[in-house]
Amino acid sequence: MCGRFAQTTPSDELIRLFRLVSGLSAEPRYNIAPTQQAVMVRDSANGRMAQPCRWGLVPSWAPNLKRGASLINARSETVFTKPTFAALSRTQRCVIPSSGFYEWRQTPAGKLPTLFTPREEPILRLAGLWSTWADDAGTLTYTFTILTTEANRVMSPFHHRMPVLLSDNGADQWLKSSTTDPKALAPLLKPSAENALNLTPVSPRVNNVRNDDRQCWAPLITPE
């Protein structure tokens, strides 16, 4: 799964990488948790745009925003057929830019986090879906979920699932709103190459969602 991630890439670099049609101003985030705001990229009638979005997809028919806490991830194997996601997977796809994500391992010292960052690519492009939810006053809240797939051999010691990581070309295909056929999109939703990620054990400071600064990336120091 993917339960915590970071977005630290400068806004002007995201504009260049995703060829956004509008400006973007986003502060670096080192420890984004479910139900918090993050930046997602989607297609629009005028071109690609980025916007703040609440992590945890809330379907338009949900009675309240609490539904999102259980939908931070969606299984890519069923995303085109499961009623909650089927329509969105055809028309409301997005990419969540990420500079890294975390997984945990249980150790005698407790749960310790590992940071996964791109080895060669400038960023990770996480495949996602977005939706809008309106309250009784008609105020819209944009929400998203991150797609997951089977873990590759690098990820499997940490978790049996991993986020879907798209290539630059794959992100272009995923964001293209004119593509609606699952047969054209499903091949994109696969485990990443095993050499795509760097692994860094980091400080358990990440375990507390209130900690959101560069110190979250401090390499773990273990006693000699």
Indicate the DSSP class of residue 174.
Answer: H
2, 53, 94, 216: the active-site residue: 2
Question: Residue 18: what are its φ and ψ, rounded to 5°?
Answer: -100, 0
CA-to-CA dists, residue 38 to 155, 194, 195, angstroms: 24, 27, 27
Distance between CA atoms of 159 and 56, rounded to whole angstroms?
20
DSSP letters spanning 44-90:
-TTS-EEEEEEES---TT-SSGGGGGG-SEEETTTTTTSHHHHHHHH
Strands 124-134 and 73-75: unpaired
Catalytic residue among 13, 27, 94, 103: 103
CB 143 within 8 A of CB 133: yes
Tell me if residue 103 is catalytic: yes
Burial class (CB in 10 A: 0-12, 13-18, 19+), 49: middle
Bridge partners for 161 per DSSP: 150
Could you confirm whether 2 is annotated as catalytic? yes
Which sequence positions are flagged as catalytic? 2, 103
